[in-house]
Amino acid sequence: MIKTRRLQTSFGDGWIAEEVADLYEPWMHQADRVLDDDKLLNLVEQELSKRIRKSKTRGRPGTTAEVVLRLLLLKPMRDWSYDILVREVRANLVYRDFTRIGGGVVPDDKTMGRLARQLGPDTVKNLHRRIVEIAQEKHIVTGRKLRVDTTSDHHRLRGIRPAAQRQ
Which residues span the domain enclosing 92?
Answer: 11-120
**pLDDT beyond 80 at 150:** no
In this prediction the pTM is 0.74
Q: Establish if 6 belongs to a structural domain.
A: no
pLDDT at 148: 59
Query: pLDDT tens digits for 34-79?
Result: 998 999 999 998 888 887 666 666 666 678 899 999 999 999 889 9
* Residue 109 neighbours by CB under 8 Å, 6+ apart: 81, 82, 83, 85, 86
b/e code 73-110 from CB counts within 10 Å (16+ = b) = bbbbeeeeebeebbebbeeebbbbbbbbbbebebbeee
Structurally, the chain folds into a number of domains equal to 1
Q: Establish if 114 belongs to a structural domain.
A: yes
What is the number of residues in the chain? 167
d(CA 91, CA 99): 13
pLDDT at 152: 54
Q: Establish if 134 belongs to a structural domain.
A: no
DSSP string, 76-90: HHHT--HHHHHHHHH
Q: Establish if 69 belongs to a structural domain.
A: yes
Query: pLDDT tens digits for 94-146?
Result: 999 999 998 889 999 999 999 999 998 888 888 888 888 898 888 887 766 55
Q: Establish if 162 belongs to a structural domain.
A: no
Query: What are the two backbone dihedrals, phi and then psi, of residue 54, each rounded to the nearest 5 degrees?
Result: 65, 20
Q: Establish if 62 belongs to a structural domain.
A: yes
Q: Establish if 63 belongs to a structural domain.
A: yes
pLDDT at 155: 46
pLDDT at 144: 62
d(CA 64, CA 23): 24
The answer to whether residues 92 and 67 touch, using CB atoms and an 8 Å cutoff, is no
Q: Establish if 148 belongs to a structural domain.
A: no
